[in-house]
Amino acid sequence: MSRRSRAAGRAAGPAAGPAAGTYPIATGTAELVPDEYAPGSWVLHVNGVPSSHVDPEHPERLDFEYMRWIAALSGAHVRAHLDPARLRVLHLGGGACSLARWFAHAHPTARQVVVELDGRLAELVRRWFDLPRAPLLRIRVGEAREVVEALTPGTREIVVRDVFAGAETPRPLTTVEFARHVETVLAPGGLYLLNCGDTRDLAGARAELAALAEVFGHVAAVADPAMLKGRRYGNVVLAASHAPLPAEGSAAAAALTGLGAQSANVYLPLYAHRELGLDVVAAGATVSVAALLGIASRVVWARVMDRPGTDGFVLLVVMALGAAGSAALLVVAPLHPSLTWTVWPAAVLHGAAALAVSVVVMSGTMRAVPAERLGAATGVVTMGLYAGFCTGPLLTGGLLQLTGSFGTGWTVVLACYLACALLAALARRRARA
Q: What is the pLDDT of residue 10?
A: 43
> Length of the chain, please?
433
Q: Domain 251-432: which CATH class?
A: mainly alpha
Residue 8 has a pLDDT of 46
CATH 3.40.50.150 residue spans of the chain: 3-11+65-241
**Residue 47 identity (one-letter amino acid):** N
pLDDT in tens, 47-80: 998 999 999 999 999 999 899 989 988 988 898 8
Enumerate the CATH 1.20.1250.20 domain ranges in the chain, comma separated: 251-432
The arithmetic mean of pLDDT across residues 189-204, rounded, is 90
Average pLDDT over the chain, rounded to an integer: 87
Neighbour order of strands in the sheet with 49-54: 21-25, 28-34, 42-46, 49-54
For the four alpha carbons of 118, 107, 86 and 70, in that order, the dihedral sign comes to negative
Q: Report pLDDT digits (tens) over 310-365.
A: 777 788 888 889 999 999 999 999 999 999 999 999 999 999 998 888 777 777 66
| Mean pLDDT along residues 21-35 | 95
Confidence of residue 158 (pLDDT cuts 50, 70, 90): very high
Binning pLDDT at 50, 70 and 90, where does residue 40 land?
A: very high
Whole-structure pTM over 0.75, yes or no?
no
Distance CA 217, CA 237 (A): 17
Structure letter (DSSP) for residue 184: H
Superfamily of domain 3-11+65-241: Vaccinia Virus protein VP39 (3.40.50.150)
The whole-number pLDDT of residue 79 equals 82
Q: How confident is the model at residue 366 (pLDDT cuts 50, 70, 90)?
A: low
